[in-house]
């Protein structure tokens, strides 16, 4: 999600929470337990709930963070191998170099075309598959008798492009299971709701600290949701701009 949408979601959540907080406190729907009251188990139960939420959230964030890093590495590896193949093609004849360049441009252009209609670049496209297969066939059909030392390098780069592409697609499809996602939603709002049971003697301090707990809980969920959608605009966002940059670079090379 983009910055404006993030701000709107946080503002809407904070506004809704503020209404609920003051409604609960002013109308005494359930009187808060003062945290300093050591003879009441509610503060300790809330601490245990918050600790469990933190541990589970930390585990999920770590898992999604690893997937994000692997997705970044696969994307950069794919682009790097394509760039190296384009540079290597300069050692071939003009005809072969032009053909390899056309196949690379066709592949990159199709990825960019797909990104215009869907931000979900994890979806396997038959047209993109055909484009990468066409590039592979072009490289394999080159007569390497005049370039014995370059043939193995070209084969290796094509293999890397296909391997990195498969890794990119696989990592992008690693979504949170529905049960885990629902569990995170429930625990997030449960933590926010139970924080209303714990209060301070001063309403202002009570509001500040309870709001911080609510915003932190909601922020953790937004972070997990953002990492779970790597191709949706947001703070952790993979766009097709690097593919566009490489396409412009290849096309500009005469």
What is the DSSP track for 127-150? HHHHHHHHHHHHHHTS-GGG-HHH
Averages of pLDDT over each 10 residues, the chain, 254 residues: 75 92 83 59 76 88 90 93 93 88 93 70 79 91 78 88 91 85 88 83 86 91 86 67 91 80
**Burial (0-12, 13-18, 19+ Cβ within 10 Å), 204:** exposed
| CA separation for the pair 9, 2 (Å, rounded) | 11
pLDDT at residue 234, as a whole number: 57
pLDDT at residue 164, as a whole number: 93
| CA separation for the pair 14, 162 (Å, rounded) | 46
pLDDT at residue 236, as a whole number: 57
Q: Within 10 Å of residue 68's Cβ, how many Cβ atoms? A: 19
pLDDT at residue 180, as a whole number: 86
| CA separation for the pair 96, 21 (Å, rounded) | 70
pLDDT at residue 227, as a whole number: 85
């Amino acid at each position: 999600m983009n910055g404006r949408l993030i701000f709107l979601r946080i503002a809407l959540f904070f506004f809704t929470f503020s209404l609920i907080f003051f409604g609960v406190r002013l109308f005494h729907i359930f009187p808060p337990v003062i945290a300093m009251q050591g003879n009441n188990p509610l503060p300790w139960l809330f601490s245990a709930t918050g600790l469990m939420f933190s541990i589970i959230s930390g585990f999920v964030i770590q898992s999604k963070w690893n997937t994000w890093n692997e997705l970044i590495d696969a994307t950069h590896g794919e682009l790097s191998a394509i760039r190296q193949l384009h540079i290597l093609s300069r050692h071939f004849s003009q005809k072969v170099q032009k053909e390899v360049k056309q196949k690379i441009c066709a592949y990159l252009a199709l990825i960019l075309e797909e990104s215009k209609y869907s931000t979900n670049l994890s979806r396997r496209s038959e047209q993109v598959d055909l484009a990468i297969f066409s590039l592979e066939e072009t490289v394999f059909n080159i007569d390497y008798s005049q370039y014995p030392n370059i043939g193995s390098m070209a084969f290796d780069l094509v293999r890397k492009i296909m391997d990195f592409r498969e890794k990119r697609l696989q990592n992008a499809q690693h979504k949170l299971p529905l049960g885990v996602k629902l569990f995170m939603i429930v625990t997030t709002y449960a933590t926010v709701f139970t924080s209303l049971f714990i209060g301070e003697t001063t309403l202002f301090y009570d509001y500040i600290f309870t709001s911080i707990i609510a915003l932190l809980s909601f922020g953790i969920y937004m972070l997990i949701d953002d990492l779970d959608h790597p191709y949706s605009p947001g703070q952790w966002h993979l766009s097709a701009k690097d593919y566009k940059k490489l396409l412009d670079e290849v096309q500009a090379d005469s």
